Amino acid sequence: MRTDRRWTALLLLVALTLVLAGCGGGTREQQRMTLYTSFGADLYTPLVQAFEEQTGIKVDVVFGGTGELLRRLEAEKGTAGADVMLGGGAESYEAYRELFVPYTVKDDDLIPGALKAPDRVWYGFNALPMVIMYNRNLVPEDELPRGWADLADPRWQGRLAMSDATKSGTAFVQVVTMLTLFADDGAEGWNTVSAVVKNARVLGSSSLPPKGVDEGEYALALTHENMAWKYAQAGGPVGWIYPAEGTATIPDSVALVKGGPNPDAARKFMDFLFSREAQEMASRQLGLRASRTDVPLPEGLSPADEIRLIELDIAWATAQREAILGRWKDLLTQ
């Protein structure tokens, strides 16, 4: 009888140990965070998978356009559904900076000042120069445009594609870049923007113009370097030009969401994104100009000192955003 009680007690102890171990393991497996991103699945999936494998933290991804996600965060203010937002230009993060909280990543000293906010409310995960992408089968080398101003030539009417600046952060930066470069055109840059838009098919997504060039629907597209690089790497008949007048490099940004439900996991994700491992993956595998100074360029991209880069006034672009978009909408209805 005494032996039976001992066995019963032992079995109960073993069962209790297994239950507690199971609970502990379950808690670890269930640790998670939510990422809002305008990165395509080809960009965010490798990063998310590497983070999950390294930390055991599950990342739930919500994909959308930059503007759409920012408006969603604004609607969720006080009850944030996201922990981190990734993708979109720095000017968008500045315009909605009240939605984010500053955080200094572990390798902050390896990120140049132009790729992070002074108060660290956002970081540039990578740099994206604006380019003119072209279809090699439709545009002979000796007929290529040299820069922005050439896009106003009537021969490109209907053969040029760009995205809608009200829906695409990339297009908004392209507009601001032209306004900056051609500020003395008699209408503070708007004569140039208007002439380019008259020739362009304005599309609803930033992915459509480069896709159209790759497929031969358009001869030219305004896009960013990484889009053109991806189609070239896939064997598409495409190339790209860094405009001769100059072009802007924008940080494709990332920030912690204020009031996010999983702040510890979110900070770990931020640190991971700026680790050498993640930045080398971005460069080698994804074709992105890494923000870390110790990570080399992807094969096929021009070094920064071979591109005529201009610095945009992000504070001005942020303050003038609604006015710029208002003028842009007027152009589309003319």
Task: Quick: pLDDT tens for 114-140.
Answer: 899 999 999 999 998 999 999 999 999
Can you tell me which residue has the tokens 């930059």?
A: 66
Q: Is 122 helix (H, G, I), strand (E, B) or coil?
A: coil
- Three-state secondary structure of 282-328: HHHCCCCEECCCCCCCCCCCCCHHHCCEECCCHHHHHHCHHHHHHHH
What angle do helix axes 321-332 and 169-181 make, rounded to 10 degrees? 90
CA 302 vs. chain centroid, Å, equals: 20
Could you identify the residue written with the tokens 């507690």? 20
Which residue type is seen at 43? L
CB burial of residue 151 (10 Å; 0-12, 13-18, 19+): buried
pTM (2 decimals)?
0.79
Total residue length of the chain: 334
Confidence of residue 107 (pLDDT cuts 50, 70, 90): very high
Tens of pLDDT, residues 23-42: 444 444 568 999 999 988 98
**What would the pLDDT profile of 79-101 be if each residue is shown by its tens digit?**
889 999 999 888 889 989 999 99
